[in-house]
Amino acid sequence: MKKMDARNLDHKTLTELRKRGVGSVQEGQSPEIVAKALGINRVTIYGWLSRYRQGGWQALDANKRGGRKPKLDDKALQWIYKTVVDKNPLPLKFTYALWTAKRVGELIHQRFG
């Protein structure tokens, strides 16, 4: 069976998959067989079992993935959008009247550093 990439699952589905996997092992099935049946790596099922032992069923809940915080806040993004949509680059001291990705980047750098 082809291995599943759980990163593509929504949080609810991933949580349910983890709980089914741990539940199956608790019912007496071997972790290797459960992993194969679910299409996951056996190391993954052992990780789920460890999380369950440390924190119970709640420890298996899928959490929001982190990420880098945006460098610009909503107000800054709105200003950029409004400027690019509503204004011509010429009055802003650009050489010609066409917004390009490079020019927008320069605008952001000038305004926000």
Residues 53 and 78 in one domain: no
pLDDT of residue 5: 75
**Is 67 a domain residue?**
no
Looking at the structure of the chain, the number of domains it has is: 2
Q: What residues make up the domain containing 82?
A: 74-112
User: Cα–Cα distance between 25 and 58 in angstroms, integer?
Assistant: 17
Does 66 reside within a domain?
Answer: no
Render each residue's pLDDT in the chain as its tens digit; 113 residues.
567 777 788 889 999 999 999 999 999 999 999 999 999 999 999 999 999 999 999 999 988 777 888 899 999 999 999 999 999 989 888 888 899 999 999 999 999 98
At a CB cut-off of 8 Å and minimum separation 6, what does 80 contact?
A: 72, 104, 107, 108, 111
Contact 104, 84 (CB under 8 A): yes
pLDDT of residue 82: 95
**Whether residues 26 and 51 fall in one domain:** yes
Q: Does some domain include residue 31? A: yes
Tell me: do 11 and 42 sit in the same domain. Answer: yes
Same domain, 11 and 51: yes
